[in-house]
Structure 1
Amino acid sequence: MKNTHRPGRLCLTFAAAAVFAALAAPTWAQLRIGQTAGFSGPVAAGVKETTEGAKLYFDAINAKGGINGQKIELESLDDKFDPKLAAENARTLIINRQVLSLFLTRGTPHTQAIMPLLDEFKVPLVGPSTGAMALHKPVHPWLFNVRATYQREAERAVQHLSLIGIDRIGVVHVDDSFGADLLEGAQKGFSSVSKQPLFIEKFDRAKPDFSRIAPIAASSGAQAVLFIGSGVAVTDGIAEIRKAGSRAQIITNSNNASGGFIKSLGANAPGTIVTQVFPNERSLAAPIVKEADDLAKAKGLEGLSPAMLEGFAAAKVLVAGLQRAGDNPTRAKLREALEGLKKLDLGGLELSYSPTDHTGLEFVDLSIVDASGRFRR
């Protein structure tokens, strides 16, 4: 009699094991990708453009049948550029939405707030829209950068100003980990040209106030001001510096390389220098630009912005990882596939990862906003 019940018990055992296995190592009928970024708040213009650039590529892949018959689904949540909300959104995407990967976060303290979750849940993050050195060194096993570091941008900016004969350079930076990171890069630039900053002033990220800083910039006789900040805070700060009477050359970083940023500058846009981490978005000789431009035109878009190109490149890297992760991708398989990318041609830009290097690209250039409100190289 005992034997007559054994098959049923085995069936139950196997069923329980199957349920456990499904919970422990989920697979995805759709390739659900999670994003948290500031779709509202001070960096909304840039976030919307980077996301639009990523969707250009995802939509093109989906139109061809997706990856191994699976469509890419990008689920985006608004964190209002708040690091605490960014972490909460990431947790929701990982646990409740069971995303295969996180993607295209925005902000240094915001991404840092998410990083512990990558370790806890063993989930990759691809293409954070920040060049903070803390995301590069030490190498985080679940985080894959696509763009160059902020420190290299700031260093190059100071070197450029020195090269064109500008010696009196002030620095204004946001008082957070992002600002401290770029300041370190700027200091490397000053050291490389044997100069010292004319002044270094910082402002609060949550409540920026330039009433004290603007007169300092004007009275110091600064020939240039390296303005380290994001979105609205930078445009407001530049406006205050101009009202105070300073005609200093303004130079800021690639996190502000969006068409929306130029529009928000208004009359202060022409002549502003913005560092860039991707090729000229109008240089169709660059294959990645030509590819993105063709897709943008097919959708009826007016053209590309540097921010759109950043999102497009990040999407290409994620897709390359997904294509190599097999028919039934898991988070672990995706991480392994990404780390195995070697000499990936993004279209004139070559990207490689390894267990000791998750930097991605190191391209840095400078642009200036012309009288028509466009970036010029």
Structure 2
Amino acid sequence: MKKTFKSCAAALVLAAAAQGASAQIVIGQSADLSGLVSASVKEAILGSQLVIDQVNAQGGINGERIEVIRMDDGFDPKRSVENTRILIEDKKVVALLLNRGTPNALAVIPLLDKYGVPLVGPSTGAMALHQPVPKNIFNVRSTYQREAEKAVQHLHTIGIQRIGVVQEQDSAFATDAMVGATRGFESAKMKPAVLVPADRRKPDYGTIVPPLTQANVQAVLWIASGTAVTEGVKALRAAGSAAQVITLSNNAAAGFIKELGTSSGGVIVTQVLPYERSFGHPLIKEAMALAKAKGQNELSPALLEGFVATKVLVEALRRTGPKPTRARLLATLNSFQYDVGGGLDVSYSPTDHTGIDYVDLSIVSEGRFKR
């Protein structure tokens, strides 16, 4: 029987907990396991755990097994801070991995700096995590600014002139992405047909959709997360609009497509890693082989992001040597270059913690992302 992302992710989280007693290297993760973006978070965990399980099955890193302690923050920055404090002070993690959300990542920086703990592969493309260079954050994926700029450029290239923008409010992520979108509009010598604000937690589609339809937009760049976008697309379609919808890689998950349901067709999502169905690509081939061994027959962009970020951390731990400390791991990461597969290089130095600089587009068709 074909396993779903949800069932596989749940099983792997339980498996990780079961391994804890014999673990010697402890990694922490605070992320949304129950709220707005939990679908994509769980897929990222699935990809991450593929790497962890493989390493542990081979005897660990330098003979030491890995345990990942995962804590649910419900996408709430305050909970992220408390979880991170517990992970650092009480659980004595050597590093943090794949924390989700721009405000969540920004909120924990003081704790990272206080204790000298590296955070590898935060699942956000916020420019604030790239420039100025935060000394304890090591990005793996490209920035939201580049994604949003490319999204606008793409729409302009295919001849779309009336582009509406929905921007969630009180959101560091959306404010950041809007910088890139503005750059894209300026490059195309255009302006948004309409800019509609949306509440981050409780968007009111009764006030969001009418300005879009009244402006007769041909496309909508929807800068928000998870169900805030999926429910918005449904409301837009219910209002009779056939406008092209494009959103960013924070929504690049199979769960996002599932939540869209019959409204999924034609939605464009920016991507920050190679196409997950490019089976000849060494990175995809490696991830697919490990997934199939677990009974999982498909990859998703979110799964791939978790897979790549964890490969980076594991390789850094391996190079750090036995009994890695936070300080030694940081030193390793600050002088690091690694091909994660197929020529995708991740490199860090004290003046550059960017990681992979890659952006592409995919379109949802027949219930999956296609490029």
Query: Which of 58, 69, 92 in structure 2 is aligned with 1:98?
Result: 92
Hey, what's the Cα distance between the residues in 1 that align with 2:99 and 2:339? 23
SS in 2 for 1:359: coil
Q: Are residue 336 (structure 1) and residue 358 (structure 2) matched?
A: no
1:31-180 superposed matches below 5 A: 31-175=25-169, 176-180=171-175
Q: Distance in 1 between matches of 2:297 and 2:167?
A: 33
Moved over 6 A (4+): none
* 2:227 aligns with one of 232, 237, 249: 232
* TM-score, scaled to structure 2: 0.92
1:111-130 Cα offsets, whole Å, 9 max, x none, are: 11111111111100000000
> What is the SS of the residue equivalent to 1:226?
strand
Counterpart in 2 of 1:202? 197
The one-letter code sitting in structure 2 at the alignment partner of 1:254 is S
Deviation at 1:29, TM superposition (A): 6.6
Secondary structure in 2 matching 1:152:
helix
1:75 aligned counterpart, secondary structure? strand
Task: Give the secondary-structure state (helix, strand or coil) at the position aligned to 2:299.
Answer: coil
Q: 2:5 maps to which residue?
A: none
Trace 1:192-341 onto structure 2 (pairs within 5 A). Answer: 192-341=187-336
Question: What is the CA-CA distance between 1:374 and the residue it aligns to?
Answer: 0.7
Unaligned runs of 5+ in 1: 1-27
Identity of aligned residues (%): 57
Correspondence for 1:13: none
Q: CA–CA distance in 2 between the matches of 1:216 and 1:311?
A: 37
Whichever residue aligns with residue 174 of structure 2, its letter is G
Q: CA deviation at 1:245?
A: 1.9
Spell out, residue by residue over 1:183-219, the C-alpha distance to the aligned partner (whole angstroms, 9 max, x if none): 1110011111111111111111122212111011111
Amino acid in the other structure paired with 1:257:
A
Is 2:24 aligned against 1:30? yes
Aligned to 2:6: none
Aligned amino acid, residue 138 of structure 2:
F
Cα distance per residue 1:134-179 (max 9 Å; x no partner): 0000001110000000000000000000000011101001111111
Instruction: Supply the AA of the counterpart residue of 1:47.
Output: V
State how far apart, in whole Å, the 2-side matches of 1:233 and 1:333 are.
41
Deviations 1:40-99 (A, max 9, x none): 011010000001100001111111111010011111000011111011101110011010
Could you tell which deviates more after superposition, 123-132 or 195-204?
195-204
SS in 2 for 1:363: coil
CA distance in 1, matches of 2:322, 2:207: 58
C-alpha contact (below 8 Å) 2:33/2:42 kept by paired residues: yes
Residue equivalent to 1:367: 362
Shift of 1:328: 2.0
Distance 1:95 1:272 in 2: 43
Partner SS, residue 67 of structure 2? strand
Root-mean-square deviation (CA, aligned residues, Å) is 1.0
Deviation of the 1:295 alpha carbon? 0.2
Residues 226-281 of structure 1 deviation map (CA, whole Å, 9 limit, x = unaligned): 00111111111111111222111000000100000000001110100000000010
State whether residues 23 and 66 of structure 2, in contact with CA within 8 Å, keep that contact through their aligned partners in structure 1: no
> What stretches of structure 2 of length at least 5 have no aligned partner?
1-21
Structure 2 Cα separation of the partners of residues 328 and 110 of structure 1: 29
| Cα distance in 1 for residues equivalent to 2:180 and 2:110 | 25
State the distance in 1 between where 2:137 and 2:233 align.
34
Number of residue-to-residue matches in the alignment: 348
How does the TM-score come out when normalised to structure 1?
0.91
One-letter code of the match for 2:325? T
Q: Give CA deviations for 1:321-372 in whole Å, capped at 9, x if unaligned.
A: 1011121210010011111112x110021111111100001110000000x2
Structure with higher Rg: it is 1
